[in-house]
Amino acid sequence: MDGCPDSLLRSKTMEPTQVEARTSSPALYVVVDFGARLALNDLAEYARSLSVIWRYTLLTEALARPIEPVGRNLRQACIEIQEQGLSFDDNAQTSLFLTSPIGEYRRQAKRLEDEVRFTVDALHMRSPWQALLTATSDYTEFGVYGAATIYSLRKILQLVMDWQKHRLEIREREVRLWIEMLAALGRGGDITGAGAYVLANFNDSFEPGSKPHNLIPPEESFASAEAVGKVARNAVQRADVVDRGTVNLDVLFQEPPTA
C-alpha cells in the first residue's frame, strides 16, 4: 500500500500523488463540514482552536505520564502552583515571575511544544475539509507523548461528535453541573455546554490515580474549553486514527467522507 508524504496539499482537481512514507506512526484523519464553501478565516480559527486543544492534550499526557525530566518538572511546577495559590495573572513583578513555579511551568510547557510538534501531513482544502494530522518528535523519550496526544485528540473530537449528535438529549442539569465543575477550577473563561461536556468526559477517561486535570492550571482548562466550543460549531464527520506509514491518501482523500 502506498505511503503518506510529509506534506501534501490536495484538491479534487489534482492528479493522484503517491509518495513513500518515512516511518510508521499514528495519524489523525479528520473530516469537518464547513458548509457549501470553505472560508479561509473560518479555517484559520478552526486550526487555532485545534492547536489549543492539542496543547491541552499534550500537557495532560505529560502530567499523567511524567516519564522523563520535562514531564516530572512540569508536574512539580503544577504542584507548587497549587500549593502557593498562584495565578497566571500575578506576573507584574517580572523578576519574581521568572523564578516562580509559573515561570518554570511555562518553560517546561514550551519545551514540550518545541520537542513534540503538531504537524499536517496532508490537506484537502474544500468543504468537507479533510486533514491528516500527526505529532512528531526527534527524540524517543518524547515520542510516546506524540502518539498519546493523537489518541487524546481523537477522543476529544469524538466527544465533540457525540455532543453534536446528542446534545438535545443531554439534560440541562448535567451541562450546568459540568460548567460549575470547570468553574470551580478557577475564574473567567467563556465555557459553553460543548466545552464543559467534552472536557468533563475527557478527564474522566484517565486512570483515577493520574487525573491530570487536578494539577493543570485553570487557565489551560478554560482555554481548551473555549476552543472546544469553537470547534463544535462545525460538524465533525470523522475523527479516526490511521497508520501514517501505510495509509493510502489516494483512497483516503478521494472517497466521499462518511459520517
Locate the domains of the chain by residue range: 9-252
Identify the CA nearest to 195 among candidates 165, 158, 234, 223. 223
Looking at residue 131, what is its pLDDT? Answer: 93
Reply yes or no on whether the pLDDT at 44 is more than 70.
yes
Per-residue CA distances from 124 to 96, 120, 162, 208, 253 (Å):
47, 11, 24, 39, 7
* DSSP conformational letter for 16: P
Look at 115-119, 129-133, 207-211, 219-223 and tell me which has the smallest mean pLDDT: 207-211
Cell of 39: 472560508
Q: CB–CB of 116/135 below 8 Å? A: yes
What is the pLDDT confidence band of residue 193, given thresholds at 50, 70 and 90?
confident
What is the pLDDT confidence band of residue 53, given thresholds at 50, 70 and 90?
very high
Cα–Cα dist 61/211, whole Å: 10
Reply yes or no on whether the pLDDT at 256 is more than 70.
no
- Exposure string (b/e) for 68-96, b if CB count within 10 Å is 16 or more? bebbebbbbbbeebeeeebeeeeeeeeee
Reply yes or no on whether the pLDDT at 208 is more than 80.
no
Looking at residue 5, what is its pLDDT? Answer: 37
Q: Give the 3-state secondary structure of residue 244.
A: coil
Average pLDDT over residues 122-136: 90
Question: Average model confidence (pLDDT) for the chain?
Answer: 79
Cell of 186: 478557577
Residues 6+ apart with CB under 8 A from 176: none
Reply yes or no on whether the pLDDT at 172 is more than 60.
yes
Q: CB–CB of 253/130 below 8 Å? A: yes
Cα–Cα dist 202/236, whole Å: 17
Cell of 70: 520535562
Looking at residue 222, what is its pLDDT? Answer: 84
Looking at residue 8, what is its pLDDT? Answer: 32
Reply yes or no on whether the pLDDT at 215 is more than 90.
no
* Cα angle, residue 155 at apex, residues 152 and 160 outer, rounded to 5°: 130
Distance, CA of 218 to chain centre: 16
What is the pLDDT confidence band of residue 24, given thresholds at 50, 70 and 90?
low
Share of the chain above pLDDT 90, in %: 34
Reply yes or no on whether the pLDDT at 64 is more than 50.
yes
Q: CB–CB of 108/74 below 8 Å? A: yes
Q: How many CB atoms lie within 10 A of CB 11?
A: 10
Cα–Cα dist 45/92, whole Å: 30
Reply yes or no on whether the pLDDT at 148 is more than 60.
yes
Cα–Cα dist 71/108, whole Å: 8
> What is the model's pTM?
0.80
Reply yes or no on whether the pLDDT at 171 is more than 90.
no
Identify the CA nearest to 43 among candidates 121, 157, 133, 123. 123
Reply yes or no on whether the pLDDT at 23 is more than 60.
no
Which H or E run includes 207? Answer: none
Question: What number of helices (H) and strands (E) belong to the chain?
Answer: 9, 5
Residue corresponding to grid cell 494539577:
215
What is the pLDDT confidence band of residue 86, given thresholds at 50, 70 and 90?
confident
